[in-house]
Amino acid sequence: MIFNRIDPSPELSRIIKEFWIYENPSNSPEIQKIIPDGFSEIIIHYGDPYRINLTGLWELQSRLLFSNQISTFFHLENTGTSAMIGMKLFPEAGHRLFNLDMSDFTDRVVDLEEFLNDESSISKLTSEEYSTAERIKTLEQWVKDRISTKSDNIKKIEIVTDLIFEANGMIEIQSLAEVVEISIRQLERLFKKINGTTIKFFARIVRFNYIFHLMKNKELTWIQVALKSGYFDQSHFIKNFKEFTGEEPTNYGFDEQTLANFFLNK
């Protein structure tokens, strides 16, 4: 089993958060839970495709995927050996790549072929013959060729997103609106179109993710983790954790080698 992260080229470091690789030669069916982390992704399977259960029904996925913001956990199951590369994108990148209202793609994992207009540079990467370096080079060039110019609105949302990440989700909308000098209403409208979720919900995802960082400190109690991650009481902390994972924090396997932990344990 291989888990690996690779940094993008410096000039793309505010568009691409990272590349990740997951390979597992075992073809035994295994159900994996995926948990929201606040980023969108392009995923290329060069192994066997996966099945996804996002809405209560199992469906066979394409081998070339785009996933925008996800609001709660969902499940994946391999149909054979696993081999995939993911390009984790900053939240504004999907809008810049496809020039679409990202709120239409929240809680969806879609076939990327729908957006490609017969472009072949990405589609061919599902073939096993390419190396990781070749896949990354092709993906980066595709992003460079396709990404739109950063508009003033994009710049504003990028600033807001960075502030939310820096504050680990613990920041008021009023403060964000004051920094970018637009009204709260206008900011909320722009954010949902470009990011896919509301500011409040995105901040909740980021704050939830911060729990995984805090859990690296084994000396912290649950109450301390709850307070440091911005929850005023333990019941609210447990409710929020269960909403995003389907489990109570005391039952969650933070040290298990899973896809969810690979993505959340930065």
Is 238 a residue whose pLDDT tops 80?
Answer: yes
The average pLDDT across 151-163 equals 97
Is residue 117 left, alpha or beta, with left meaning phi > 0 and alpha meaning psi from -120 to 50? left
Residue with tokens 């954790």: 241
- Spatial contact of 207 and 237, defined as CB atoms under 8 Å apart: no
Is 194 a residue whose pLDDT tops 70?
Answer: yes
> CA 106: distance to chain centroid?
11
The average pLDDT across 58-70 equals 96
| Domains of the chain: residue spans and CATH | 2-146 (2.60.120.10)
Q: What per-residue confidence (pLDDT) applies to 113?
A: 85
Is 119 a residue whose pLDDT tops 70?
Answer: no
* 12-46 pLDDT tens trace: 999 999 999 999 999 999 999 999 999 999 999 99
What sections of the chain are H helices per DSSP?
A: 93-98, 113-116, 132-146, 152-166, 173-180, 184-195, 199-214, 222-228, 234-245, 259-264
The average pLDDT across 87-116 equals 93
User: Across the chain, what does the average pLDDT equal?
Assistant: 94
The dihedral through the CA atoms of 101, 15, 62, 79 has a sign that is negative
Residue with tokens 């509301």: 198
Q: What per-residue confidence (pLDDT) applies to 117?
A: 66
Q: What per-residue confidence (pLDDT) applies to 266?
A: 65
**DSSP symbol at 236:** H
- List the one residue out of 174, 232, 168, 239 whose CA is nearest residue 204: 168
Rounded Cα distance between 53 and 114, Å, is 20
The average pLDDT across 58-68 equals 96
Q: What per-residue confidence (pLDDT) applies to 176?
A: 98
- Spatial contact of 241 and 231, defined as CB atoms under 8 Å apart: no
